[in-house]
Structure 1
């Protein structure tokens, strides 16, 4: 996998022939969440997420259709990670460099702009953080809830 992110619901995608991006919506499974402590928003996307699998199901105007409105339908994904298979839909995990095919566009005409994951610091991240590094990065914030002693400056 080598430093590539898994894709989840909310990933932003674009078509080479469209004018606007659209947001991926996972419809083939409802149990496997990634990048969340509680689980509820970021379902893991797989190569089985085909058909009308975007929020608006359009990438704006399609140059392949003389700038008429795009009506995207994903027929297949390529470049997925075949070492992860979900039991729910027998799907392989999509990666941030996976590409989709639309029958109007061409093979691999749909690319992922943003994988959909976001960085969130958890309580465990704060607990594991080095005190000196936190003090350098955030000198006036007491993240760990420890009172700091300040020495008054004599004028």
Structure 2
């Protein structure tokens, strides 16, 4: 699993035979959150997240289903996931965590036709991260913010 991101609710997925991406919804559990400071948005996605588990449940017109004048609309249904991390299991739903290179199978598109474009993880810096930041490095990365005096400004604002 070295250096692979775990997949969370809000991940962007795409089918090889569709034209538009869709967003993954975690419907199998409400307990385990990843990379979410408040534990409210980023539910961990597992290989048990199958069925109609996308926000729109479509990837646009399906190139596997031609009709006169175009293609039938996709009806995204996942029958199985592969490439998940078998050393990390969440119970319930007894599911293994999905990784950035996990792929899903659709009954129409076939094995591994759905891939993950973005894992859904977004860095959320906290006050503790700012306190531990190397001020010299941060002055080069973000010269607008004066990290040496940033903590003092935070303390002054909390006193108001």
Which structure has the larger Rg?
1
Q: Aligned to 1:127, which of 125, 131, 137?
A: 131
Counterpart Cα distance in 1 of 2:123 and 2:88: 22
In structure 2, list runs of 5 or more residues that go unmatched: 154-160
In the other structure, the counterpart of 1:153 is none
User: 1:38 — aligned with what?
Assistant: 38
Cα shift readout 1:87-125 (whole Å, capped 9, x = no counterpart): 110000000000000000110000000000011211111
What is the TM-score when the length of structure 2 is the normalising length? 0.88
More strand by share: 2
Measured on the aligned residues, the alpha-carbon RMSD in Å equals: 1.3
Count of residue pairs the alignment pairs up:
147
- Of 63, 71, 74, the residue aligned with 1:70 is 74
Give 2:55's aligned residue. Answer: 55
2:146 is matched with 142
Q: Flag the 1:76–1:142 CA change in 2: closer, same or farther, 3 A.
A: same
Q: In the aligned structure 2, how far is the partner of 1:138 from the partner of 1:94?
A: 33
Q: Give the distance between the partners of 1:113 and 1:137, measured in 2 at CA.
A: 27
Which runs of structure 1 show a deviation greater than 4 angstroms over 4 or more consecutive aligned residues?
A: none
Matches within 5 A, 1:4-15: 4-15=4-15
* Higher fraction of helix: 2
- Determine helix, strand or coil for the equivalent of 2:14: strand
Unaligned runs of 5+ in 1: 148-155
Cα pair distance change 1:20/1:132, threshold 3 Å: same
Q: Secondary structure, in 3 states, of the residue corresponding to 1:109?
A: strand
